[in-house]
Structure 1
Amino acid sequence: MKAGFAISHSQKAWVVGNNNVEMTVTLLGAQMAPVVFDRNSRHPIQPYYISPWQGEGLKMPVQLLAPLRGDFFCMPFGGNATPYKGEKHPPHGEVAGTDWELAGCAKKGAVTTLSIICATKVRRGKVIRELSLVDGHNVIYSTTRVDGFEGKTSMGHHAILAMPAKEKSVLVSMSPFKLGLTCPHQFSRPENGEYQSMAPGAEFKSLSRIPTIFKNPPIADYSSYPARIGYADLIGLFDQPKDGVSWTAAVNTEENWLWFALKNPKQMPARLIWLENHGRHGNPWNGRNCCMALEDGCLYFDAGVAESAKQNIISKRGIPTCHDLKKKSPFSLRYIQGAVRVPAGFGKVMDVRFGLDQVTFVSVEGKKVSMPVCHSFLKNGQL
């Protein structure tokens, strides 16, 4: 089986699909979008964001912004402004802004897999990504294998969702977390034409009650989006780092679909939410971006490898913010993303129930939607 090739929103890309899902992955940065779930239905679902500067020919301050879209793997995760042991990594690492190569595309039984590879230079090694589709599943199963690396690094996924025009029409929820904390440093800097609404370094227990920089309101609801036009914010939610399944769900009440992600919190204890609502005015943003990123990983906010590898306010709580890789021991990270149609009136997800190769989402209204998902993939890598 061969992967298709296309120019998608100004970027060279591979295109792979089955009867349920079609995914497009850019050569530059291996950024995954557009993705069409439920592709043969009357109402296909396209949840991922694609940046508005595609085709404009703008000079980018960092390479990963050129294709910016959908989900992509970051290593080291973060801005990486501070060098680490003589290494100077670009923002989110070479893997997010360099060309990948096709390693193969194959269909075995019900499973179709795109395999791509990136050889890094700042810290030499190879990163192999396998993106798999299963017939009958509106799901993407991702395995990222890190081979030949030595030393500590932050890493994670960076899934960016498109936002509808209607305010507060996307409802976000997740499994219980150990620690909620707004970005401890200033995330958006006015001197750079950026503005934030959250108070830095504030702890919280619920997305619906987060401290702001304002006297009125001093507390705001950040569980529904888009909201607060003119601001860009970053939230951190940290799980107990133990084996299991941790979930995130975003319900689009305008288009009646639900996007979700599943992770193993032992490997990825952190979950960042980047809320961008026309809050950045420098190049190439120019005040026109409205999106939400749900970023799962092992990391210290958006800082980078140097800050993630040393003791910080998160690691002091017993939550790791980096992985210590060994050259002779390949490291694998597995992740699940998918989407499903929900009935009108299906609100915020309050619970996720895991059956045999099935997941059921339960809304606050008591409505239920089930779909086939091999969630055991997170543990055993089997489909």
Structure 2
Amino acid sequence: MNAGDDYRGLAWAHGALTVQRLGAMLAPVTFILEDGRQISPMHIAPWSNEPQAQALPGILRKLRGEWPCVPFGYSVPADGWPEDWARAMGPPESGEEIHGHSSNHEWTWRPSSRGSLSLTLTYPEGSPVEHVERTVRPDPLAPAIDIVLKIVVRRACRLPIGLHPVFRLPFETGAATLQFGGFDEGRTYPHDVEPGAALFARNKTFFELTAVPSRNGKAVDASRLPLAAATEELLQIEGTDGAAALVNHEEGYRVDLSWQKEHFPSLLLWYSNRGRKAAPWSERHLAIGIEPICSPFGLGPATALADNPIAQSGIATALEFSPEKSFVTRYRIEASAL
């Protein structure tokens, strides 16, 4: 397959999109709004065209937009974690990759119907996953994209899975707003996501995104983006209605994400707010991940399958898969003018 086939694009009356084979990542995306303006809401990492990026792990090499993670997450050391979490945390599985095989390798184009792009990826022999399929289809009648993910397994298994939409943010502090309906409970990360770049208090619960406990004892409005502080953080939201939106006040648009909440009972918010100093991040990475998941903070399969504190509370952190029936989930990204 020649290099020119590493990307394929589609144009329709309401926009244009590109999908890359690496990670099957979707971006750039241009939507044409009802008032005629063109907007590009999906994030593209600032290093994605730099020569040194070729030495990075697959997921980081050309990090961009939206993609599926099967399985979702990655293992971290249990040192310094609260005891109830540390008990549930196991070592990385053999061959474990950050956010799964799907995030780090080049997919293969599949034949697809007119007006859509479809890809597939076969997993290594030892994996319980046989292959994954992904179809990206613009809505011919709207500035919107419908996406289908199919997972076929070799044997019955439980896995954490997630979707990984990452959105571009305006430069000015607080110029965008995260919005979703009511939720049952939010959780702060039980440790440091990035040493020296913490903002939220460890292992706390909250009930309003506008009042998240911080390390200095005050509440932070985590709905207004970008945040003022240089930080790298995660929040996990439980009990949403399967929809969230990012409103960009500076550019006058909103982008809505909707998903099947029966498949993804939690929503992970990844605040990448210039907090990571090491290359390739280099204090220049500014984006928000709005990620529907069935996972405990993306802590990897061992923790997801264990009796971790989120699972103990009655919220699934892994899904059941069977070779008798393929798993199929659908979700949508849609833009509109303010």
Verify the 8 A CA contact 2:33 2:337 in the aligned structure 1. Answer: no
Residue 91 (str. 1) matches residue 98 (str. 2): yes
Which consecutive residues of structure 2, in runs of 5 or more, have no partner in the other structure? Answer: 77-89
Verify the 8 A CA contact 2:34 2:336 in the aligned structure 1. Answer: no
* Aligned residue runs from structure 1 range 243-282, under 5 A: 246-282=242-278
SS at structure 1 position matched to 2:111: strand
How large is the RMSD of aligned CA atoms in angstroms? 1.9
Residue 226 (str. 1) matches residue 226 (str. 2): yes
* Aligned residue runs from structure 1 range 277-296, under 5 A: 277-296=273-292
Verify the 8 A CA contact 2:49 2:62 in the aligned structure 1. Answer: no
Verify the 8 A CA contact 1:207 1:222 in the aligned structure 2. Answer: yes
Counterpart code for 1:294: I
* Aligned residue runs from structure 1 range 1-383, under 5 A: 12-38=6-32, 42-59=36-53, 60-81=55-76, 83=91, 87-107=94-114, 112-121=115-124, 123=127, 124-150=129-155, 151-190=157-196, 195-215=197-217, 218-239=218-239, 246-342=242-338
TM-score, normalised relative to structure 1: 0.79
1:149, CA displacement in angstroms? 4.1
| Distance in 2, Cα, partners of 1:258 & 1:156 | 23
| Distance in 1, Cα, partners of 2:146 & 2:75 | 28
Counterpart code for 1:162: R
TM-score, normalised relative to structure 2: 0.89
SS at structure 1 position matched to 2:190: coil
SS at structure 2 position matched to 1:144: strand
| Distance in 1, Cα, partners of 2:95 & 2:213 | 34
1:210-263 CA distance string (max 9 Å, x none):
011114xx21111100012321111100117xxxx5210111001110011111
Give aligned-pair identity as a percent: 24
Counterpart code for 2:108: E
SS at structure 1 position matched to 2:142: coil
| Distance in 1, Cα, partners of 2:97 & 2:65 | 19
Verify the 8 A CA contact 1:80 1:92 in the aligned structure 2. Answer: no
Verify the 8 A CA contact 1:127 1:145 in the aligned structure 2. Answer: yes
| Distance in 1, Cα, partners of 2:172 & 2:100 | 34
Verify the 8 A CA contact 2:33 2:336 in the aligned structure 1. Answer: no
| Distance in 1, Cα, partners of 2:34 & 2:22 | 28
Verify the 8 A CA contact 1:105 1:115 in the aligned structure 2. Answer: yes
Counterpart code for 1:229: A
Counterpart code for 1:323: L
1:15, CA displacement in angstroms? 0.6
1:47–1:222: structure 2 CA closer, same or farther, 3 Å change rule?
A: same
1:115, CA displacement in angstroms? 1.2
Query: 1 or 2 for the larger relative contact order (CA 8 Å, sep ≥6)?
Result: 2
Which consecutive residues of structure 1, in runs of 5 or more, have no partner in the other structure? Answer: 343-383
1:304, CA displacement in angstroms? 1.1
SS at structure 2 position matched to 1:308: helix
| Distance in 1, Cα, partners of 2:192 & 2:209 | 19
Verify the 8 A CA contact 1:102 1:117 in the aligned structure 2. Answer: yes
- Matched residue count: 319
| Distance in 2, Cα, partners of 1:57 & 1:159 | 25
SS at structure 1 position matched to 2:113: strand
**Is 181-190 or 52-61 further displaced after alignment?**
52-61
